[in-house]
A and B are shown apart, each in its own frame.
Chain A
Amino acid sequence: MEGQLSSLVITKEDMDTIDELFSQYLVDSQAKDIILLNKSGELLAKSGTVTRESAVAVSALAAGVFSATNELAKLLGEHEFTLTFHQGKETNIHISLVDPLILLAVIFDNKAPIGAIRFWAKKISASIRPVLQKMAAVPHQEPSEEFRKGLQDEIDNLF
């Protein structure tokens, strides 16, 4: 059985903290892009030159790759593989588990040695983890009945 959260809530304060950390690491690590996503493939945060549209697609695919890799792990008797790495001619992508539900994708150009990529991915994960723990610790507040009803009433206008 695999437990799951019903929803993930990100406050503006959490997002500002993540953005600040990512901007700093982008300079320090010389990564091209840093993308934070959840295991269901949703983009949580991004930093770098990647457009939002591309980051959304990268998140869906990275989570898919990670999920498929974990089915592979189970077939091999492992509980989980905690990272995957793809190397190209110009670009490399390192996808790793930050906490049970969150993944970090770091994109580097081909100048970065693999040791450096792993080092920075670990360092960024360690910095971001307390923010994620804080987010998970906030009790989930149910939206008011009025808000929910308002959403329902307005759905028709969206189509």
Chain B
Amino acid sequence: MSLIDFSKSEITFKIVYYGPAMSGKTTNLGWIYRMIPDKVKGQFTSIATETERTLFFDFLPVELGSVKGFKIRLSLYTVPGQELYKLTRKSVLKSVDGIVFVADSSGARRDDNINNLADMTRNLEEYELPDTPVVYQLNKRDLPDVMPVDQLMDELDLGGKPVFLGIASSGVSVMDCLKGITREVVSKI
């Protein structure tokens, strides 16, 4: 649910990074946190377990600047990817405006990508948000056992959808994905 505050001339969008466990969602947010100047970013809040896996969500508020006299703010969230946290994932998705789906390009994670994408689609349908804009990041393209792009896109049925090839740990396509999803959510306002 975008929030349009005329008293402060601000528009806030909620963007969620979704995807299977260890696919690089928190790494994406971490990179954004490092790239964005201090004065336009808020506190990076992370609720992690002792092994640094996301337990609840990561949260990073970002102020992009002004367009047409309105300050554009993004609330960036990640979900926990592990199967165990199915209900937590659903609750973080509540009132989402846009999603970056972070897939793991490793051949060994094929089923995890497919199942997690199906889980996301199901949750969006339950929230009556099936038309939520999604951009897709095929992450970890530097791994030795990556699936070919065409095959991965085919398996996830991504033909005609906005897809970015990423290496989030070194920032490849991180900002492009954020820009891509920002364009999509703004077009839906």
Contacts from A to B (Cβ < 8 Å): 1-12, 14-16, 38-42, 44, 53-54, 56-57, 60-61, 63-64, 67-68, 70-71, 101, 143, 147-148, 150-152, 154-159
Contacts and interface: CB of A to CB of B under 8 A. Distances in A.
Interface in B1-52: 1-8, 12, 14, 42-43, 45
Contacts of B127: 1-2, 4
Contacts of A68: 56, 87-88, 91
A141 to B, nearest CB: 10
A1 to B, nearest CB: 6
11 contacts: A5-B1, A41-B77, A42-B12, A44-B3, A53-B43, A57-B59, A60-B61, A61-B59, A143-B189, A151-B68, A158-B72
Contacts of A9: 4, 6
A152 B189 CA distance: 11
B128 interface: yes
B151 interface: no
Contacts, number: 141
Contact of A16 (B7, B90, B126, B129): B7
A11 B42 contact: no
A60 B94 CA distance: 12
A129 to B, nearest CB: 19
Given A16-B7, A38-B3, A147-B68, A152 B129 contact: no
A148 B185 CA distance: 11
Contact of A2 (B57, B64, B65, B128): B128
Interface residues of B, number: 45
Contact of B187 (A4, A11, A60, A152): A152
A155 B183 contact: yes
B189 A7 contact: yes
Contacts of B95: 4-5, 38-40, 101
Nearest to B175: A159
B187 A41 contact: no
B14 A41 contact: yes
A57 B179 CA distance: 23
Given A1-B126, A143-B189, A158-B65, A12 B43 contact: no
Interface of B: 1-8, 12, 14, 42-43, 45, 56-57, 59, 61, 64-65, 67-68, 70, 72, 75, 77, 87-88, 90-92, 94-96, 126-129, 175, 178-179, 182-183, 186-187, 189
Given A155-B179, A155-B182, 6 more contacts: A10-B3, A15-B6, A40-B94, A101-B95, A154-B68, A158-B65
Given A2-B126, A10-B3, A151-B67, A70 B42 contact: no
Contact of A11 (B1, B6, B183): B6
Contacts of B5: 10, 15, 44
Contacts of B187: 148, 152
A143 B4 CA distance: 11
Contacts of B67: 150-151, 154-155, 157-158
Contact of A38 (B1, B45, B65, B87): B1
A2 B4 CA distance: 22
Given A7-B189, A150-B68, A155-B67, A41 B75 contact: yes
